[in-house]
Amino acid sequence: MTILYHNSSQIIQVEDQGRLYKRGAEMSEIPILEKGWMLVENGKIIDLGSGKCPGCERYDESVDLQGKLVLPAFVDSHTHLVYAANREDEFAMRLSGKSYAEIAAAGGGILNSARKLAEAPEEALLHGAYHRLQDLMRMGTGALEIKSGYGLSTESELKMLRIVRQLKEKSGLDIKSTFLGAHAIPEKFKGNQEGYVNLVIDEMLPAIAEKSLADYVDVFCEEGYFNLDQSLRILEAAKAYGLSAKVHVNQFNSLGAIEAMVDMGALSLDHLEVMSPKEISYLADSQTIATALPGCSLFLDIPYAPGRAIIDEGGILALATDFNPGSAPGGNMALMMSLACTQMKLSTEEALVAATLNGAAAIEMSDEIGSLERGKWANFITLPPGFSLASIPYHFGHNLIMDLYLKGEKKL
């Protein structure tokens, strides 16, 4: 099946160099085709150009884009999409002056979500997560990562990862799964952190690996959660099962994790709200992707990751939503671009690359998605005629997405 998409106002971020990511100054480079066309065969892009498509008379179907703007679908490389219930009550507590740490100490936070998830039937969890996934698609997300971490027991962690697998099968989206059993210390292990770390290593990891339920492993390396030594032990144990590391670090404190995680070859380090100049340089000099989560910073009123400095130092920066019920209850990648521009001082071009190609690199799919180039899947979104790339961060909070195409098939 060959489809010609034509009569766009622009096709943005057209690549021809086969780059798996962009770093530093490269992130400002986004080739644009004026009045662009795209030829897609069996879901993959086989050619692109401007104006009239030469030699494109042979096609099975023609789609007139009617002057719409075309750009790659968003790739959200850090979400917690599977959960049992929202946490508006904790939001009210924060508005009354309670801190994130105080709410967690009072039995809220991650442990609250874990209790509710353990009680929820698998079918209900799948239904809720699928509904949220459809919302993300309507806002232009075409691929994403989903973490476990609200299970905190072998049974519940397996349940969450089974749901992620079902979401992938049901939706047809490219979804990567991450095992985050080390998200918090469950109540039954209070005062026995080592016991829980051993459970993650000796019981959870083998059970998950046996069923091939995870692509990656994650740890919340933070004061009050898992220290650096515990985090490294879990991540090293996961290596034996072929699970690369995507790690929560430097959200509230710097524990020396950045240097250690880079040295062990972590695929991405996520959050990064608290960083020293030395840590910025160390991360920027590596192949590890820095993933900023500006929605969390907005919601918790904490610092934003130093995205401008990471790019200026030559680093690889990605943007993701951190969509979760406690600290980032929103999955709008366009809003993440807006926050990256206004609060992290990125250009519109840099924000787009961070939300597409570099996000795809953070889930090891940038050879297939994340930019519009020959040989990649035709995963793209459209904006109305008359809108530009700058319209996305400018109209913050608005959903400008008209169409989502995945592998050349219109999804909305």
- Give the residue numbers of the binding site for Fe(3+): 78, 80, 248, 322
Between CA 102 and CA 108 the distance in angstroms is 9
Annotated binding site: 78, 80, 87, 150, 183, 248, 251, 322, 324, 326-327
Per-residue buried b or exposed e for 361-396, using 16+ beta carbons within 10 Å of the residue's own CB: bbbbbbeebbbbbeebbbbbbbbeeebebebbbeee
Residue 409: Cβ within 10 Å count: 14
Backbone angles phi and psi of 125, in degrees to 5: -65, -40
Residue 301: Cβ within 10 Å count: 8
Between CA 184 and CA 166 the distance in angstroms is 25
Backbone angles phi and psi of 131, in degrees to 5: -60, -45
Annotated binding site for 4-imidazolone-5-propanoate: 87, 150, 183, 251, 327
Cβ atoms 356, 75 nearer than 8 A: yes
Burial of residue 214 (CB within 10 Å: 0-12, 13-18, 19+) is buried
Annotated binding site for N-formimidoyl-L-glutamate: 150, 324, 326
Between CA 223 and CA 168 the distance in angstroms is 34
Annotated binding site for Zn(2+): 78, 80, 248, 322
Q: Give the distance from CA 52 to its chain's centroid.
A: 36
